[in-house]
Amino acid sequence: MAFIDARTLPDASPIEADLIIIGGGLAGITLARELAGGPLKVAVLESGGREIDEAIQDLYAGTAVVKAPDNPDKPFDDYPLQSRARVLGGSGMIWGGKCVPLDPADFIARPWAPHTGWPMTRQQLQPFYDRACDLLEIPRFDAGDKALKDPARPPLALDPRDGFFSAPRVFTRYSGGADRAAFDRFRTDFAAAPNITVYLHANVTRIRLTPNGDKGGGDVVEGLDVACLDGKRHTAVGQTYVLAVGGIENVRLLLASNGVRPEGIGNRRDLVGRFFQGHVTYALDGDAETEGTAVQVSRQASMSLYLNPGRAAAHCVVAAGLPAQARLKTGNFTATLYAAGETGAGTPTQAETKALRRVATRMDGASPGDGQLLGFFAMSEHFPNPDSRVTLNMATKDPLGMPRIHLEWRYAKADWDSLERSAAAFGDALGAAGQGRVCWPVQRRKLLEISSASRHHMGTTRMSADPAKGVVDPDQKVHDTANLYVTGSSVFPTSGIANPTLTILALTLRLADHLKRDMGARQ
């Protein structure tokens, strides 16, 4: 129906709808798009406006540190502020648009990796992945990703016995970083539907509960406190509420809404905020003295499939499948190859690299020449870790009175073991297949130093059918509540190595179907 700037409403205005979506990022927008034109009256409450604004963005500010064995702590205070965008369209505004589903292995409970396993399989989520792909106008990731493999640009001929496979990525144009005009349509056109109202500059500062959990039906959300940075205060009341403000802010709002439950909403078992997982790349540039992370490709005539070919075509990486993970007792792993020039010209280092590449190429039975020398970055699954967590810093509050957050992003020894074993196995797979060699010159004590964090925040309101193991149930409803759902990457039990947006959209489409059924039955 409309966009409304909440600052223009009279103070203490009531916002009423059947469904209230907290957050107008890609998850919230996708849910609203699914419900547009339907019978339910939907209100979307978005903190930001149409453009990124420094004062609004500052509401994210908090503190953070990364801790890992054998490495000095890495202060990371700017991460909460800089890793998401508080604006209509959310972090879709700064997203690169890279899309890939989680691998089937990511959904499986792996005995060697504690706290793994989703309450659904990749196959069960596949129809929603397909719909998400259609929504983003990208090819579907069908079995074997056949639609994404270009015969003219074959992937590396790795031996399936070694457990590594080609895992293409593609790009959608529906991101602020790709096609702003298309993304503007994506984030606004649904609001033309008569049942949709999007409130901008509307910050939810508290979820108000009616305690009912002890009677078996779950606590009932009775309304929301809404605040504007100009001082206006409103309320929002609906039948059902969906929290969709990101993997850190979802936690912040649940924990800060402690008027009825001192521990916060959905937190009776002290799980809200735990199991924070992120995606990190590991790459080292070479110099005159030291080697960088590199791949010598001996035989492949054209490596264009493995080099980032731009946004219009498949973008491929090599990934470790479940058999390799089971054999190595590792998590998911990918190696993304990219063009890189030789370093250290004229140095002994370069001469040795050239010599071993020449011998490797001949040993692999390739044509004269030295094959191709490429750079690569590794990514390794961050195992679910209850000590990796988001908490509130009650001593520091933002201009709306909300406590700031503290992120303690923790790695365990198993994470480093998995990364190093996987990188070695990647090299072994390439060598065994006669396709090339891998250079992984990274010392464990330098891993944090060379890491680069993505903006993906996952796992903090993890999904499980068992209330003792998860914050939300398989329908994404907060355990012990009657009418509060969460969507976004915070519900991921494990993070895989897939860029999370496609999975966020798939889960949100699945939630939309559930809400249509559930709320339709109640109308």
Site residues (vs other proteins, CB under 8 A): 161-162, 290-291, 293, 296, 348-349, 351-356, 358-360, 362-368, 424, 427-429, 431-434, 437-442
Q: How far are the Cα atoms of 102, 110, 282, 457 from residue 383, in angstroms, in the given order?
A: 15, 11, 16, 13
Consecutive H or E run containing 252:
helix 249-256
Nearer to other proteins, 132 or 294 (CB): 294
Shortest reach from residue 162's CB to other proteins, in Å: 7
The total number of residues shown for the chain amounts to 523
What is the rounded CA–CA span in Å between residue 33 and residue 196? 9
Nearer to other proteins, 9 or 425 (CB): 425
What is the rounded CA–CA span in Å between residue 101 and residue 143? 12
Nearer to other proteins, 178 or 356 (CB): 356
User: What does the block give as tokens for 179?
Assistant: 């096609």
Do 489 and 479 form a contact (C-beta atoms < 8 A)?
A: no
Q: How far are the Cα atoms of 34, 391, 394 from residue 437, in angstroms, in the given order?
A: 48, 43, 51
Shortest reach from residue 289's CB to other proteins, in Å: 10
Shortest reach from residue 197's CB to other proteins, in Å: 57
Nearer to other proteins, 277 or 330 (CB): 330
Shortest reach from residue 437's CB to other proteins, in Å: 6
Shortest reach from residue 362's CB to other proteins, in Å: 5
What is the rounded CA–CA span in Å between residue 281 and residue 283? 6
Do 297 and 496 form a contact (C-beta atoms < 8 A)?
A: no
CB neighbourhood size of 80 (10 A) = 23
Distance of CA 48 to the CA centre of its chain: 21
What is the rounded CA–CA span in Å between residue 460 and residue 377? 26
Shortest reach from residue 282's CB to other proteins, in Å: 13
Shortest reach from residue 329's CB to other proteins, in Å: 14
Nearer to other proteins, 362 or 469 (CB): 362
Which residues have C-beta within 8 Å of that of residue 402, sequence separation ≥ 6?
59, 205, 252, 256
Nearer to other proteins, 67 or 358 (CB): 358
Shortest reach from residue 449's CB to other proteins, in Å: 16
Nearer to other proteins, 146 or 327 (CB): 327
Nearer to other proteins, 261 or 437 (CB): 437
Nearer to other proteins, 297 or 442 (CB): 442
Judged by DSSP in three states, 91 sits in: helix
Do 301 and 372 form a contact (C-beta atoms < 8 A)?
A: no
Judged by DSSP in three states, 233 sits in: strand
Do 280 and 453 form a contact (C-beta atoms < 8 A)?
A: yes
Shortest reach from residue 373's CB to other proteins, in Å: 11
131-151 burial, b at 16+ Cβ within 10 Å, e below that, comes to bbbebbebebbeeebeebbee
393-425 burial, b at 16+ Cβ within 10 Å, e below that, comes to eeeeebebebbbbbbbbbbbebbbbbbbbbbeb
Shortest reach from residue 108's CB to other proteins, in Å: 25
Nearer to other proteins, 21 or 429 (CB): 429
Helices 26-35 & 501-522, crossing angle to 10 degrees? 40
Q: How far are the Cα atoms of 94, 109, 249, 264, 417 from residue 246, in angstroms, in the given order?
A: 14, 25, 5, 17, 29
Nearer to other proteins, 293 or 464 (CB): 293
Shortest reach from residue 421's CB to other proteins, in Å: 10
Nearer to other proteins, 339 or 359 (CB): 359
Q: How far are the Cα atoms of 291, 295, 368 from residue 358, in angstroms, in the given order?
A: 16, 13, 9
Shortest reach from residue 418's CB to other proteins, in Å: 16
